[in-house]
Chain A
Amino acid sequence: MTPSAPSLRGLRQRARAHFTDGSRRRGLLVAFEGPDGSGKTTQRKLFKTWLKAEGYDVVTTKWNSSDLIKPIIRSRKAVRALSPEEFSLLHGADFRHRVEQVILPALWAGKVVIADRFLFTGLARDVARGLDLDWVLKLYQPLLWPDLVFYFAVSAGTSGKRILATRTPRFYEAGQDVTEVEDPVESYQRFITRVIREYESLALIFNFLTVDAEQSIGDQHRQIRDLFRQGEKRPWSDWNADAVAEWLAMGGGEA
């Protein structure tokens, strides 16, 4: 629950003081974004290993992975029972729960949080499903902005090839709920084209760090390390004060 206005101000100040205290390493939030088959997960694992070797305390969180909401989403996906709105709202709930239970506690403790997909995944997919960007973005308020967003850019063709090399796209992954195309492969190509278009708009709006995901794995990894080294010196974003204050009001940060 959110506190009344006067205490909210105090909690914002507490959040600022904590995250701008130069005497200790502050928590960093790094998001890996991109379409399916862009190689995010491979890069995320390499990045995590490297960070740990560099002495960072690292926590990973994946899209649609909260212990509370994931089972609810999974059972509905299995019977193909979700409309675009329900799909969006349930993923928003899953995200919020992870922000409160996993991401903010780890950031508060000074850890690096690697998010394998972040709210931009929700935005790109939901808008590709025909929902309004402004409506979806507001569902994720109070917004928690990552310190760095790596966007793994691939063409729809490459994404499709990489996915099809291992499996047939699943119903929602292929966007069959909105394309109404019976063939999952054809549906996937249509849907991922829309998703990539949305991602590219978001990359411009939100200033993502674009990684050419058609490069070799090693080249991508080196680029990510360099970008991280430059990006970790960025100051804490005051835009995050509301999200942290709300979490503090719920008793967060007390341990």
Chain B
Amino acid sequence: MTSLTGRKPALIAVDGVAGPAITAAARAALTSIDRAARSGVSHWDASGLFEELAVADADAGQPSVRTLLLLYAADLAFRLRWEIRPALAEGRCVVAAPYVDTAIAFGRAAGLGAAWLSNLFQFAPRPDARRFAGASARGSRSHMSGGFVEFGCEHVAGAANGVTRAELMDRMGTYLRARSRVRSAR
């Protein structure tokens, strides 16, 4: 990652499969920034909507991947408004963990089209730097709590379409690693 010394405001995106790995990478990214320029970490579900979703009545039905991603985008819009943009406006560096790539990888792994996903997150600014929290998919399966992906795997409807949780996580890991390699090569 480019060295961020706090001279300029910056948005650092940390994406990955496993919630604990993303959290650890976000912490590491934050400590790499000059203390004076640090803002903090913007975590998923800052708006609390997934917390509400988790306690919804079972009769309400489970969301599909597409519905879940619309909700993720709504939560991200909230994080941008209340956490990320204000930090940048104050000239600080902010870490978004996870940001857009995790959600896109989740959607792609579940078979959603790239064009729809790209449109969905069009409102989110391009990060100044990116980090891939590269815990293995196997590792993430043993920590089924804490992250958006874990939440999605727990709550999403449509398991009958044949994409198992393990396959979904493996596909996500492959997708994110490939994106990471492409960006490094540029």
Contact = CB atoms under 8 A, between A and B. Distances in A.
Are A and B associated in one complex? Answer: yes
Interface string B16-59: 00000000000000000000000000000001010011001101
Contacts of B96: none
B56 A68 contact: yes
Interface string A223-252: 000000000000000000000001001110
Given A85-B123, A135-B122, A138-B116, A93 B63 contact: yes
A89 B74 contact: yes
Interface in A65-87: 66-69, 71-72, 75-76, 83, 85-86
B113 to A, nearest CB: 8
Interface in B155-177: 156-163
Contact of B61 (A86, A101, A135, A138): A101
B63 A251 contact: no
A177 interface: no
Contacts of A249: 111, 158, 161
Contact of A1 (B57, B61, B161): B161
A171 B61 CA distance: 29
Given A1-B161, A89-B71, A138-B116, A100 B60 contact: no
A2 B162 CA distance: 10
Contacts of A76: 47
A97 B63 contact: yes
A72 B52 contact: yes
A68 to B, nearest CB: 4
Interface string A28-68: 00000000000000000000000000000000000000111
B44 to A, nearest CB: 14
Given A67-B56, A68-B56, A100 B67 contact: yes
B151 interface: no
A61 B59 CA distance: 17
B142 interface: no
A224 B42 CA distance: 51
A254 B160 CA distance: 11
Chain B's interface size range is: 35 or more
Interface residues of A, number: 32
A254 B115 CA distance: 29
B59 A67 contact: yes
A215 interface: no
Given A96-B64, A135-B119, A250-B157, A85 B77 contact: yes
A139 B119 contact: yes
Contacts of B120: 138-139
B71 A90 contact: yes
Interface in B111-168: 111-113, 115-116, 119-120, 122-123, 156-163
B59 A250 contact: no
Given A1-B163, A86-B78, A141-B116, A250 B158 contact: yes
Contact of B71 (A3, A93, A100, A251): A93
Contacts of A92: 70
Nearest to A136: B119
Contacts of B64: 1, 96-97, 100, 250
A75 B52 contact: yes
A251 B64 CA distance: 11
B70 A4 contact: no
B11 interface: no
A92 B66 CA distance: 10
A96 B66 contact: yes
Given A71-B52, A96-B70, A139-B70, A250 B161 contact: yes
A68 B52 CA distance: 9
5 contacts: A2-B161, A86-B78, A90-B74, A93-B74, A250-B158
Interface of A: 1-4, 66-69, 71-72, 75-76, 83, 85-86, 89-90, 92-93, 96-97, 100-101, 135, 138-139, 141, 246, 249-251, 254
